[in-house]
Amino acid sequence: MPELPEVEVSRMGISPHLVGEKVKSIAVRTPKLRWDIPFELKKIEGQVIRKISRRAKYLLLETDCGVVLIHLGMSGSLRILEQASPPEKHDHVDLFLCNGKVLRYNDPRRFGAWLWCETGQVHSVLQHLGPEPLEEDFSPGYIAGKAVGKRVAVKQFIMDNKIVVGVGNIYASESLFMAGIIPSRPSSTLTQEEWDKLVEAIKRVLTRSIQQGGTTLKDFSQADGKPGYFAQELQVYGKAGEPCPVCGGLIQEQKIGQRNTFFCSVCQS
């Protein structure tokens, strides 16, 4: 599943081709993805794309009259192609530009989304979200305050989008390993020093993943078709039974919140 770094890499990949360009037309081949594709998307035709931003795992294509929200779901991807390129299986949406290019959305599992929001409004899917993990609002003091009295495992806690957005399963395991914190620890038991380490680890892990172009496991590749390379730097995720890169002990695997979790019981406490 594309996580925050993969979505951010997609944003960086498509932005140079779209920002400042006028939309010629939009073609919707599949009327329903995760939700019905709204007819209002037609309003983007004739509009200039002013900016492409990201909120959590949503890409926002901003125009003067409204915003197109794109979510990649579990297997979605975006490509910039020549308009003459014929659509293939699972190519559900095309955004044709006046410069001869097309932004093409492919999604085999059809769990992504294309949504519309009028200018000046906030779409319901963006309400009640926590801060972005790479911005100043996400601080050790902030998250320590949110954890007071919370008995939920710290891994589940940092994956809660109401607490902080974009810390997916891979990055939660990697960040907790870097911070030396066992994933099953109740959130309220972490000290301020441990929150300091964990927040720093989350920021470092996500930043490095973006720099490396995301983590390619099965489905994700960049807008130009090249894979991400952060998977080569994973320390614990998906490495159950292998030696810990720090102490040499075996990496453990455990289900936490129905998600596979990887950790070293020696290095993390």
Q: List residues forming the annotated binding site for DNA.
A: 90, 109, 150
Q: Is 3 a catalytic residue?
A: yes
Q: Is 57 a catalytic residue?
A: yes
Active-site residue, from 55, 185, 208, 259: 259
Contacts of 67 (CB under 8 A, 6+ apart): 60, 61, 116, 117, 119, 123
Q: Is 2 a catalytic residue?
A: yes
Written as one string, the DSSP assignment of 77-104 is EEEEEETTSPP-TTEEEEEEETTSEEEE
Cα separation values, 131 from 21, 78, 79, Å: 30, 25, 28
Q: Is 245 a catalytic residue?
A: no
Tokens 């599949």: give the residue. 30
> Are the beta carbons of 45 and 26 closer than 8 angstroms?
yes
- Can you tell me the distance from the alpha carbon of 22 to that of 41, in angstroms, rounded to the nearest whole number? 14
The pair of structure tokens assigned to 225 is: 């078709």
Per-residue 3-state assignment (H helix, E strand, C coil) for 161-191: CCCCCCCCHHHHHHHHHHHCCCCCCEHHHCC
Maximum distance among all alpha carbons in the chain? 60
How many CB atoms within 10 Å of residue 190?
22
Active-site residue, from 5, 6, 11, 57: 57
Active-site residue, from 3, 62, 174, 194: 3
Positions at the binding site: 90, 109, 150
**Catalytic positions, written as ranges:** 2-3, 57, 259
